Amino acid sequence: MIRATATLRTAGLDSYIARLPGALDDGAEAVAQRTAVRWRELAHVVTGSYRASIFVQTHDHSDYAEHASAAQALNPHAVILPEPPRPARKGAASVGSAVEHAMFEELGTSTRPAHPAFTPAVELARADLRAEIQKRIAP
């Protein structure tokens, strides 16, 4: 399973958090959703199942099922992976792919070079996390 978790670290920010309930939770989900969009934009498309398989999870929400179904419909041979556990607490969100061949696309096979899409999307998300924190704590 290829997957990333975005976590807003809240140590030292308690006073701000008290005044902005829910803001950091929304920030993590916003970053995860943006990362998923970038990942889909960069994904190598053959049948489209890899691109369709990219899902987002938060503590209390997941769109895994619809993306796994869409991926299976586009490529009946695709191996669908089970849904991983959702983030255990608020303030965290995950992006992942529901198909096994996401790993082959990202890191390559014996005959094909990698088509990286997950890593560039996550690298840009690192900058997004900082911006989301700044926007929500000191607008």
Q: Which stretch binds another protein (CB under 8 A): 15-23, 60-68, 83-91, 104-112?
A: 104-112
139 lies in the binding site for another protein (CB under 8 A): no
* C-beta pairs of 112-121 under 8 Å, 24+ apart in sequence: 115/43, 115/44, 116/42, 117/39, 117/42, 117/43, 117/44, 118/2, 118/4, 118/39, 120/38, 120/42, 121/35, 121/36, 121/38, 121/39, 121/42, 121/95
The span from the CA of 126 to the CA of 95, in Å, is 13
10 lies in the binding site for another protein (CB under 8 A): no
User: Bridge partners of 92?
Assistant: 7
80 lies in the binding site for another protein (CB under 8 A): no
Give residue 115's Cα distance to chain centre.
17
- Residue in 114, 125, 137, 138 binding another protein, rule: CB under 8 A: 114
Q: How far is the CB of 21 from another protein (least distance, A)?
A: 25
41 lies in the binding site for another protein (CB under 8 A): no
Report how many residues bind another protein under the rule CB under 8 A: 15
- Residue in 45, 46, 123, 131 binding another protein, rule: CB under 8 A: 123
Q: How far is the CB of 88 from another protein (least distance, A)?
A: 16
107 lies in the binding site for another protein (CB under 8 A): yes
**Residue of 81, 55, 80, 50 lying closest to 66 (CA atoms):** 55
Residues that bind another protein (CB under 8 A): 103-104, 106-110, 113-114, 116, 119-120, 123-124, 127
